[in-house]
Structure 1
């Protein structure tokens, strides 16, 4: 399965440019030391050795840089989840893997790599475009798995598909959203399996 939409990038400068990549890499490193909220574009310019005006040729704001970093992180999570789903056989197993791998990948990026948490938290709090697009793709992937399960006779067909996908996403959301996940860290070992099993029982025809 391919991603349903491209990840948003700043509208300034060429989309594929080594300077853009250099700015993002340097910003990621700088944010890891000083935090996203405390860092200004002027701070980044000094750290990279570029002028502030030159950075603005590629990114319209600090948030635009954060959006790119956030999009890269979400792309890693989505790549892991889609690979796990593709490797699974039947729709119930695909759904179980979505729960499990989504949680594991989110933990790995947002908490074990703590430098990304500030950016992820800002993205979730302020509803950045990269987050909204990611959530929409997760729900679309859920719909695809549900549709496959309905066609094979393994899932019920009475509930509207979009309603079912949204409900399941809301069950998953505490383990995907970094602001919510921080309050669920003590249940991440068992909760994804338990919740997936509960959802699968509700989907029985």
Structure 2
């Protein structure tokens, strides 16, 4: 997912992308030091040198800024996943790479910065739009791999496709959701290989 494909947060006002990007960049740096929950729009205004009212011309709330940052992070994860999947030739290997890249990229982005992790946590708890779109796109990628595997004869065709997509997504979900991923950290190294092998056995024709 390119930046242009990232779901738009609740932006408003002038179509001045430079100013909007400046606000988001400053907010991301501030959140990294002080945390999302403890930061107010007034804090951001002081750091950036804008008035709070001016920031509200571009974003309707602090959450809207958080959504923009969250959408960018999830976009990076999806791009990593798709790049890994595209390196494989056959559907079974694509599915293995999907599992591994999803975990590796999520760990790298969400756990290298503990303060920014709070944004991801808030996004999941409150079901922000970028997280919903991300979940949908991962399911779409799973569907693409399954359809290709069914056409190539690598995967069985009897189970309804929608049911299979959702089942695989639910298997992956503990390692996609940052709240659950934190609790599953001890298994993150071995889980992708073990779970993808289990799923692939269930998909055998």
User: Alpha carbons of 1:40 and 1:116: their partners in 2 closer, same or farther (altered >3 Å)?
Assistant: same
Shift of 1:146: 0.3
Structure 2 runs not aligned, ≥5 long: none
Distance 1:15 1:183 in 2: 41
Structure 1 runs not aligned, ≥5 long: none
Shift of 1:32: 1.0
Distance 1:96 1:42 in 2: 46
- Asked whether the 8 Å contact 2:124–2:177 carries over to 1, the reply is yes
Structure 1 residue aligned with 2:96: 96
Q: Which secondary structure does the structure 2 equivalent of 1:33 belong to?
A: helix
- Asked whether the 8 Å contact 1:31–1:115 carries over to 2, the reply is yes
Report the number of matched residues: 204
- Asked whether the 8 Å contact 1:99–1:192 carries over to 2, the reply is yes
Shift of 1:160: 0.9
1:65-104 matches, cutoff 5 A: 65-104=65-104
Structure 2 residue aligned with 1:20: 20
Matched, 1:153 2:160: no
Matched, 1:181 2:188: no
Distance 1:141 1:2 in 2: 15
- Asked whether the 8 Å contact 1:9–1:15 carries over to 2, the reply is no
- Asked whether the 8 Å contact 2:9–2:68 carries over to 1, the reply is yes
- Asked whether the 8 Å contact 1:9–1:67 carries over to 2, the reply is yes
Distance 1:6 1:35 in 2: 23
So what's the TM-score if we normalise by structure 1?
Answer: 0.96
- Asked whether the 8 Å contact 2:95–2:145 carries over to 1, the reply is yes
